[in-house]
Chain A
Amino acid sequence: MSYLAFSRHWAGYLSRKTCLPEDQEKVLAYVIEILTLNFLNIFFTLLLAALLGVFPGTAACLVTTVLFRHSAGGAHSNSPWRCAVVTIAIFPMFALLGSFLSQFGQGLVDAISAGAFIAGLAAMILFAPMDSPSAPIISSLRKKKLKIISIAFVFLETFAVLLIRESSWQYAVVVQSCVALTLLWVSFMLTRKGHKLMSLIDKISFKKT
C-alpha cells in the first residue's frame, strides 16, 4: 500500500506512541493523507481565488463539489500533485467564468442552471456512485444509498440556488452560475469522457526529454 512519505511518517509516530497494530497504522496513514491533501487543496484554491478577486464564487464551487463528490464520486487522477493542480486551477477558473457569464443577465444564468439541473439529475441517475479502484464500494446497499443521496443533493442544491436567486445578495447571480458550472463539471466527471480526461492529465509528463 503506497502512501506519501509524510503520511507514513506521522502514522508510524502516532502508532508507536499508542501501540497500535499494523492494520490500524495503515488506516492512520490513509486518513492523514486524505485530510492533509484536502486541507492544502482547499487552502491554495481559496488563496488563488482571493488573489483573483473571486472568493465567493470559488467557495460556492468548493461547497458544491464537496457535496457531490462525497456521495456521487467521479474520475480521479493517480497523482496527488496533478490532482492539486487540477483542483487549484479549475475552481477559481469556474468562478471567473461564472462572474463573466453573470454579466449577460439573469436569463442566461437561469438557462445554464436549468441545463445543469437536467444534466446533473441524469448523471446521478445513470452513473452515481462512481467509485475508484483504490476505494471500491463493495456493498450494494451502500451503492443504493449513495445514489439516493446524490439525486437528493441535485434537488437540494437547486432549491438552495432558487433561494439565493430570490435574495438581494450582491453575489447571488455569480454564485448561481458558479454552482451550475460546478454541477456540470461534477456530472462530467461521472461520465466515460470525464475519466478519459483525467487519464489524459495523468499521461502529461513533466520530465525533460
Chain B
Amino acid sequence: MRNIMSKVFLFTVTVLLFLASITAASACAFTHYQPELPESLRK
C-alpha cells in the first residue's frame, strides 16, 4: 500500500512539474493575477 502511495505522489509531482514548465513558457497565467515565477523556471 505504501509503495502504491509513493508512486501516486511521484506521479502527481511529475505531472505538476511538467505543468509548471508549460505555464512558465507562456506570457501570463490566464487570470489577472500572476504569482512570482520561481528563479529556476525563468527563461
**A residues with CB within 8 A of B:** 1-3, 7, 14-15, 17-18, 20, 23-24, 26-28, 30-35, 37-38, 41, 65-66, 69-80, 82-84, 86-87, 128-132, 134-139, 142, 146, 189, 198
Knowing A18-B9, A35-B19, the reply to whether A76 touches B27 (Cβ < 8 A) is: no
How many residues does chain B have at the interface if contact means C-beta atoms less than 8 Å apart? 30
Cβ–Cβ contact B27 & A137, under 8 A: yes
Taken residue by residue from 16 to 29, chain B's Cβ proximity to chain A (1 for < 8 Å, 0 otherwise) reads as: 11011001111111
Are B26 and A87 in touch, CB under 8 angstroms? no
A-B complex: 9 closest residue pairs judged by Cβ atoms: A73-B27, A83-B33, A31-B20, A135-B37, A73-B28, A129-B27, A83-B32, A17-B9, A26-B38
Q: A2-B36, A18-B9, A28-B13 are in contact. Are A87 and B43 (CB under 8 A)?
A: no
Who on chain B is nearest to A74 by CB? B28
**What's the minimum C-beta distance from A154 to chain B, rounded to whole angstroms?**
15
Q: Which residue from A73, A76, A137 sits with its C-beta under 8 Å from B33? A: A76
Interface of A is mostly: helix
- In the assembled complex, the CB of A195 is this many whole angstroms from the nearest CB of chain B, namely 11
Question: Does B34 sit at the interface, judged by CB under 8 A?
Answer: yes
- Bound: A123/B9 CA distance, A: 43
A72 to chain B, nearest CB (A): 6
Q: Does B6 contact A (CB under 8 A)?
A: yes
Partner of B27, one of A2, A33, A41, A130: A130
B-to-A contact residues, CB < 8 Å: 6, 9-10, 12-13, 16-17, 19-20, 23-43
What number of residue pairs across chains A and B have CB atoms under 8 A from each other?
Answer: 132
Question: Chain A nearest CB: distance from B40 CB in Å?
Answer: 5
- Quick one: which of B9, B17, B28 contacts A76, CB cutoff 8 A? B28
**B30 and A134: CB pair below 8 A?**
no
Q: Which residue of B lies closest to A4 (CB)?
A: B35
In the complex the two chains form, what is the Cα distance from A7 to B36 in whole Å? 13
Given A2-B36, A27-B38, A142-B43, A70 contacting B28 (CB threshold 8 A): yes
- Nearest opposing residue in chain A for B9, CB measure: A17
Q: Provide the residues of chain B in CB contact with A23, threshold 8 Å.
A: 38-40
Min distance, Cβ B5 to any Cβ of chain A, angstroms: 8
